[in-house]
Amino acid sequence: MDWLVIVGILLFALGLILSIALHEVGHLVPAKLFGVKVTQYMVGFGRTVWSRRRGETEYGVKSVPLGGYIRMIGMFPPEPGGDPKRLRKASTGPIQALIEDARKTAGEEIQPGDEERVFYRKPWWKKLIIMLGGPAMNVILALLLAGGVLMTFGNPEKPVLAPTVSEVSECVIPAGAERTACAAEDPPAPAAEAGFEAGDHIVSFDGRPVDSWEEVSGAIRAAGAGTVDVEVERDGERLTLTPDLVRAERPVAGGSDAEEPEYAEVGFLGVRPLIVDYEQEDVTGVAAWSGTFVVRMLDAMAGIPERMGNVWDAAFNGAERDPDTPVSIVGAGRIGGEIVSELAGAERIVTFVMLLATFNMAIAIFNLIPLLPLDGGHAAGAIWEGIKRGVARLVRRPAPRPVDVAKGLPIAYGVAVVLIGMAALLIYADIVSPITLFG
């Protein structure tokens, strides 16, 4: 393996660990500000590799850097009529026993004098802030990383194109085809037949001077089929090439955002422009990028069950891996390694930083799913408690007890099993059938 790939993997792993650490800081800071006793702040799971105690909190790193946590006392309220230290031991079944064991463990963490420092006694809005603090930290980190790129280097999705050829197509690939390689039935591209080369600077098209790629592209599409004269500058000399354009279906510029792109039959030459810069964004542009990314992420998450089927087929049945399928930390690290190895200069840094920004935003959105044990599950419990208390005030009834999230533990364990299974499958697939950015 190329040493640059290893460097890239290590750099991405470091960036991901820092992201996880900051996620937990997002929980830790408001918890301490609101007076909740935090006994542990850990990055990773498994055996403790290193730790130091500062005051009442143990800070440390564990052996498996696949997440992190803070331990707050009193996450679950006692049963009605009980207290945090004395919980009913009788159970009516395995699920009830599971809940009571969790209550007992939570109650054993509460020491004399800690009664008002337990999580469940805090107002619902403080619980909500504590639980949303982690995802909020990842969103902030993503905006800082992506914003730095978008406002300085520019938006990679908005290239500034020059009327200079960067690549010549060998054939005319049908619109909508997922392949990039030419097939035997594909006709040759007009540019290849006419002798265009990478680096040719287009000076005029069909006798009309052109100064931008937009002008070149518009002239090609409008010309339809037929022979045209194209003047290019190559190695300081001007040449006139005479391609025989063909009509081909191509995406409509600025078409709708629907899943199925719009196509129109237009003139086709078969050259790609040179990217000379990227359009820089302002604060509004960064916000727009964030909104677009969130929509894409939600759409991708909705399709996870279907995409996991492709991951299974790729891992065990030899199917081709869809590049739109999710990846594990192993796969993400491999992509980071490819970026460092294959790209150079500013493009390498920009692409790597945007990868970290993307994963931070993905971590935030994933954690907001309203299911235990994710942050969104605890946040949903806090919101429900706020609604119940608001209704109680309106009808002038006594304030209800804190929402008992312990009752959701069976679901939490089920979700955890599913997540662990998905993670194991993705890790295996990323080893035997990885997604690559550079072929």
Q: What is the pTM for the complete model shown? A: 0.78
Task: Give me 105's structure tokens.
Answer: 């463990």
Of 377, 358, 376, 374, residue with least CA distance to 294: 358
Superfamily of domain 159-278: PDZ domain (2.30.42.10)
Give dist(CA 42, CA 66) in Å, integer: 11
List pLDDT tens digits, range 354-401. 889 988 988 898 899 888 888 998 899 999 999 999 999 999 898 888
Q: What is the mean pLDDT of residues 129-156?
A: 93
Domain residue limits, the chain: 1-18+123-157+280-439, 35-121, 159-278
Give dist(CA 136, CA 375) in Å, integer: 11
Active site residues: 24
pLDDT of 49 reads: 92
Element of type H or E holding 273: strand 271-278
Give dist(CA 292, CA 326) in Å, integer: 18
Task: Give me 27's structure tokens.
Answer: 């929980």
Q: Assess contact for 269 and 191: CB atoms under 8 A.
A: yes
pLDDT above 90 for 138: yes
When pLDDT is cut at 50, 70 and 90, the band that residue 95 belongs to is low
Q: What single-letter DSSP state applies at residue 152?
A: I
Of 403, 409, 373, 401, residue with least CA distance to 99: 409
Residue 268 φ/ψ, nearest 5 degrees: -135, 130
Q: Assess contact for 63 and 46: CB atoms under 8 A.
A: yes
Distances (CA, A) of 73 to 36, 43, 210, 226, 277: 7, 18, 70, 77, 53
Q: Assess contact for 243 and 193: CB atoms under 8 A.
A: yes
List pLDDT tens digits, range 245-286. 999 888 876 544 445 667 888 999 999 999 888 899 999 999
* 350 CB-near residues (< 8 Å, 6+ apart): 149, 153, 156
